[in-house]
Structure 1
Amino acid sequence: MNRAPVQPELLIWARERAGMASADLAHRFPRIGEWEAGEVAPTLKQLQSFANAVHVPIGYLFLPKPPEEALPIPDFRTMDGAGVQRPSPDLLDVIYSCQERQGWYREYARAHRLPDLGFVGSASTDDAPDTVAATIAATLGVDVAARAACRNWEEARRQMIAQAEEAGVLVMVSGVVLSNNNRKLDPGEFRGFALADTRAPLVFINGADSKSAQMFTLAHELAHLWLGATAVSDAGAAPVPNARREEVWCNAVAAELLVPLAAIESDLTTDEDLPGLTARLTRKYKVSTLVILRRLLDAEWLSRDEFARAWAAERARLRQLAERSASDGGNFYYTTLTRVSRRFARALVESTLEGQTLYRDAYRMLGSHNAAIFERPTQ
């Protein structure tokens, strides 16, 4: 029996990279403890199965030592004021797939002579966030009253995504890697990222996050596009010590875009208690309660101490809520368009049906081999 010449430390690195313990894999690989101890080596077939289980290219396992893996785009995330060190294979694979889609769409846009989008890179962190938020709202047609008329967060999110795509942004929303429902994305690792490009600007939103949180992430990543800044983010309304200037600025733009200060000030009353006010404004603006609390602080309706207590209490309440049911299932057709961007899917289907793109490549970029996407219009 031929054994694979693999270093035990590579096996340990690959398992830890995937966030797994030995016990998580023991049912599939009963001798994994012996492999990692160097007492016996896996066969090549076993090594291939192991590589698939931990989502690592098998070639990595034949290296003399673990590779230094860095994100292929700037990392603006922070945890306790420090950068996040090791990206998960799920995050890496999502970024790589989005970069491939963006590259394809960039060439498509060039071949079809689509105009450059002047708003990408049109702002700087020296610009006032409220001015840039007003520009984004005007460019996309974002309107507070129209969002307030939406029945729920899902409808409001769809409306804003459609507005961004109409302006030329590829918006991709998924809670899993490609179409693999066994590889769920962790909102605790990242909430979204932006890939800035004047022909193919792209925003990815972690669909495993709550709908209300996704609204803020979308607004935050749009601000990144206006900066012309490619980056992965953990966007949130909370004041974060030692946060990067770009993230503070993008958060300010996102908050003003979704909940304009002038609008919320006109909504405030002195005789309403905080829970009632928060619930009412959350329903109107279709954002999370945390965003509303931050805007109440900005409007000086809450003091710093009141905000800190309310924020901590709300975070605790949200943590206690039962996990919502997964939303990435359901209708295959709509789910696919959401995951890869309706604008991107329309261009890819058109190119494939015209014979300009191979079906093999189209299926890979769609993350699915279901032919239904080619049998229905993507308008």
Structure 2
Amino acid sequence: MAKGITVKPIIIQWAIQNSGKSMSLISQKFSKIDEWASTESELSVNELNKLSKELRVPFGYFFLKKPPVEDIELLKYRTIDNEEHETPSRELIDTIKHMEARQSFMRENLVEDGFLPLNFVGSATTNEEAEELATAILTELGLTSDWNQKNPDTFNTLRQAASNAGILVMQNGVVGNNNYRPLDVAEFRAFVLIDEYAPLIFLNARDSVKAKIFSLCHELVHIWLGVNELYNDPQGENQVFLNEQLEKFCNETAAEMLLPGNVLREIYDVEMNAYENIKSISKGFSVSDLVACIRLRQQKLISKKIFDEVYPTLLEEMRKNLSAKEEMEKSSGGNYYYTQGSRLDKNFVHSVSRKAREGKILYTEAYELLGAKGKTYDKLIEFVEGR
């Protein structure tokens, strides 16, 4: 009988803890899990494969003598209530790693082709006025100050402008193509990977369209600030304070990009109550009700008392809308190529396709980068480049 692979119990314990699954649930599929988690055991390759799949842990981790330190070079990720999660889910970790691989490919590709670094990455500081930075970002993207006013396609307008400027914009609601591994909006809405050649913004596609628009603006501000350096402050002094101040500045600048204060003061209708004003502004400027409410308070157009009364109602409405959106997506199969194409940055797809045709990368690598292979890969390329 073939000898099994010796696995340390501390590795099993770590894998279980990071899976987010209860011991009782796991034991229903693995009768020996208690033994493996308490005593050094020999597991067959088949057992490890099944355990790896169930706990969503890379197979190679089971050969380690102590738990790995998954040091993800990521600044910070935001949640609906701006809460920070000490232990990120496997879904988030795997998504970040996947995006890092795509960014690495794109950076190498751009350097090889002789492109220069993007001069706007890290070009701004929090000492600037939010209004001035908002204008600078929109100008760089080729957008006017009223770019989103009564624009039914605000998200794609902004995404295309960012892509044209050299920023990779990806989105997904699951890990890769695995519909059984959804990304939780309550855990994160977006993240940004800073790079002077290929900055990358990832959006949680399970979020609402208006929320994604704001997240995209928010992460664009991160790119202009080059926040990767700030969050990796080697001294760590006042880091929490700096993070809070940074996020506040990013939120103010993002809101200014979408809903300039001077415009807001002009369109506010004193004949309507706060709730009606918020709904009208939200519809006319492609911003969420929450953003409109916050902006009205920032501009002192509504009192703190009214804000405290209205905001919880809007927050509850948003959560119900997100739940309804998820249910609708579950019931509709959708078009594979449209869905997969919407997840990818068009410039990224073009670069992968070109490098594969030129023989600079193997097609197996191209398949891995785009999450499609064979004829499906060919049709995806055709769909995206013809979109």
Name the TM-score, length of structure 1 as normaliser.
0.88
| 1:1-379 equivalences in 2 (<5 Å) | 2-38=3-39, 42-75=43-76, 77=78, 83-143=84-144, 145-151=146-152, 155-230=153-228, 244-321=244-321, 322-324=323-325, 325-326=328-329, 330-369=334-373, 370-371=376-377, 372-376=379-383, 378=385
Q: More deviation in 358-367 or 11-20? A: 11-20
How far apart, CA to CA, are the structure 1 residues paired with 2:29 and 2:262? 58
How far apart, CA to CA, are the structure 1 residues paired with 2:64 and 2:361? 35
Secondary structure of 2:128 counterpart: coil
The answer (yes or no) to whether the contact 1:81–1:242 under 8 Å persists in 2 is no
Secondary structure of 1:116 counterpart: coil
The answer (yes or no) to whether the contact 1:173–1:205 under 8 Å persists in 2 is yes
1:139, distance to aligned residue in structure 2 (A): 1.4
Task: Give CA-to-partner distance per residue, 1:311-342, whole Å, 9 cap, x none.
Answer: 22222333344431238962332322322211
1:82, distance to aligned residue in structure 2 (A): 7.4
Q: More deviation in 7-16 or 76-85? A: 76-85
Task: Give CA-to-partner distance per residue, 1:254-287, whole Å, 9 cap, x none.
Answer: 0100111111111101110122211111111111
C-alpha change, 1:101 and 1:120, in structure 2 (3 Å) is same
Q: More deviation in 311-320 or 12-21? A: 311-320
Secondary structure of 1:323 counterpart: helix
Counterpart residue identity of residue 339, structure 2: T
How far apart, CA to CA, are the structure 2 residues paired with 1:121 and 1:349? 30
How far apart, CA to CA, are the structure 1 residues paired with 2:188 and 2:207? 10
C-alpha change, 1:145 and 1:320, in structure 2 (3 Å) is same
1:161, distance to aligned residue in structure 2 (A): 0.4
Task: Give CA-to-partner distance per residue, 1:149-184, whole Å, 9 cap, x none.
Answer: 333xxx321111011111111100111112211111
How far apart, CA to CA, are the structure 2 residues paired with 1:345 and 1:67? 32
Counterpart residue identity of residue 14, structure 2: W
The answer (yes or no) to whether the contact 2:76–2:191 under 8 Å persists in 1 is no
How far apart, CA to CA, are the structure 2 residues paired with 1:82 and 1:320? 20
Name the TM-score, length of structure 2 as normaliser.
0.86
Q: Which runs of 5+ in 2 are unaligned?
A: 232-239
Identity %: 32
Q: More deviation in 212-221 or 175-184? A: 175-184
C-alpha change, 1:366 and 1:281, in structure 2 (3 Å) is same
The answer (yes or no) to whether the contact 2:278–2:289 under 8 Å persists in 1 is yes
Question: What is the Cα-based RMSD across aligned positions, in Å?
Answer: 2.8
C-alpha change, 1:196 and 1:40, in structure 2 (3 Å) is closer
Counterpart residue identity of residue 244, structure 2: R
Aligned residue in 2 for 1:237? none
How far apart, CA to CA, are the structure 2 residues paired with 1:69 and 1:41? 25
Task: Give CA-to-partner distance per residue, 1:112-143, whole Å, 9 cap, x none.
Answer: 22333211111011111110000111111334
1:103, distance to aligned residue in structure 2 (A): 1.4
1:83, distance to aligned residue in structure 2 (A): 4.8
1:79, distance to aligned residue in structure 2 (A): 9.8
The answer (yes or no) to whether the contact 2:213–2:287 under 8 Å persists in 1 is yes
C-alpha change, 1:181 and 1:143, in structure 2 (3 Å) is farther
The answer (yes or no) to whether the contact 2:168–2:198 under 8 Å persists in 1 is yes
The answer (yes or no) to whether the contact 1:193–1:221 under 8 Å persists in 2 is yes
**Larger helix percent:** 2
The answer (yes or no) to whether the contact 2:48–2:59 under 8 Å persists in 1 is yes
How far apart, CA to CA, are the structure 2 residues paired with 1:126 and 1:355? 47
How far apart, CA to CA, are the structure 2 residues paired with 1:118 and 1:15? 44
Aligned residue in 1 for 2:234? none
1:28, distance to aligned residue in structure 2 (A): 3.4
1:243, distance to aligned residue in structure 2 (A): 5.1
The answer (yes or no) to whether the contact 2:8–2:41 under 8 Å persists in 1 is no
C-alpha change, 1:122 and 1:331, in structure 2 (3 Å) is same
Task: Give CA-to-partner distance per residue, 1:196-224, whole Å, 9 cap, x none.
Answer: 22221211111121211111110000001
1:299, distance to aligned residue in structure 2 (A): 1.4
How far apart, CA to CA, are the structure 2 residues paired with 1:111 and 1:5? 44
1:146, distance to aligned residue in structure 2 (A): 4.2
Q: More deviation in 256-265 or 83-92? A: 83-92
Secondary structure of 2:12 counterpart: helix
Q: More deviation in 351-360 or 304-313? A: 304-313
How far apart, CA to CA, are the structure 1 residues paired with 2:383 and 2:66? 48
The answer (yes or no) to whether the contact 1:76–1:247 under 8 Å persists in 2 is no
Secondary structure of 1:172 counterpart: strand
1:26, distance to aligned residue in structure 2 (A): 4.2
